[in-house]
Amino acid sequence: MKIWIQAFRPKTLTAAVVPVLVGTALARAETGQFELWILGAVLAASLLIQIATNLFNDAIDFDKGADTSERTGPVRATASGLLSRRQVYTAAALCCGVAFALGVPLVLQGGWPIVIIGLVSLFLAYGYTGGPWPLAYLGLGDLFVILFFGVIAVAGTHYLHTGTWSELALVAGLQVGFHATTLIAINNLRDAPQDVKAGKRTLAVRFGPRFVRWEIAILAYAPFLMGVAYGSSGFRWAGMMPLIAVPLAGRLVRAVFSTAPGPLLNPILARAAALHLVAGLALAAGLFLGVRS
């Protein structure tokens, strides 16, 4: 069980939880209500798709030679031999199957938009690192995270509760997505030397460490500036409460700029996860309060 939990990469699972909470809180702020069963179903499906993505990534990176004995990041289950390729692929497919089943009542609730979001999300759980156009190997992983673990996750959750699309869902989705992407950007900065050998052309490989450090700085700070959008909409606490995470962003950015690519970046990933979680929960709490100025 410990090996499987490690393979699920629990520190990354905030990326599946935070956008669902924010989308639900925004629905409650705008309509005064939300559906508890929708929250539970979306949260479970989102977690399963995130775990499936991590498992596919574990096995596919091993197959493609991206995870070797030179790896500087945390131990990967397939590459280390703790789990077989077949076990990892089977578990990933099982997670996708259960997520698909959980999606059936959500489709009945939300209709074709949810069908499209669900099917694309399930496909990209594999397509992030697998298939003929793997996003992570083409340098599109950062955009994928912003869209699917930010904008689409928040807006889709909000739509399921309300049946409408909201401009604030775009703002909230970008805020959540930007902070989630700091994790993958730091990961890619750390792994750039090995990714070059594996032909994995992340942004760190394409444009170098300086570019990615500035990318991380923008991703860390920009969501706080976006908070001004809530003031004109009357949700002043949604703009103010996430500011408690600004010191976390500052420490994260300073650490990234002062640390060379390699294993010393591993502890900084935990700081990025903390920033994503704290800022996201603060945003959700601010929206849930629904205090209009």
64-78, 177-191, 240-254: which is most confident: 240-254
Percent of the chain with pLDDT over 70: 95
Q: Which range in 63-77, 187-201, 220-234 is most confidently predicted, on average pLDDT?
A: 220-234
| Total structural domains within the chain | 1
State residue 293's pLDDT score. Answer: 43
Residue 73 banded pLDDT, cuts 50, 70, 90:
low
Enumerate long-range contacts of 67-74, CB under 8 Å, 24 or more apart.
68/194, 70/193, 70/194, 71/191, 71/194, 72/190, 72/191, 72/194, 72/262, 72/263, 72/266, 73/187, 73/190, 73/191, 73/263, 73/266, 74/6, 74/9, 74/266
The predicted pLDDT at position 65 comes to 65
pLDDT at 291 over 70: no
Report the pLDDT value the prediction gives residue 246, as an integer from 0 to 100.
97
Domain that holds residue 264: 2-289
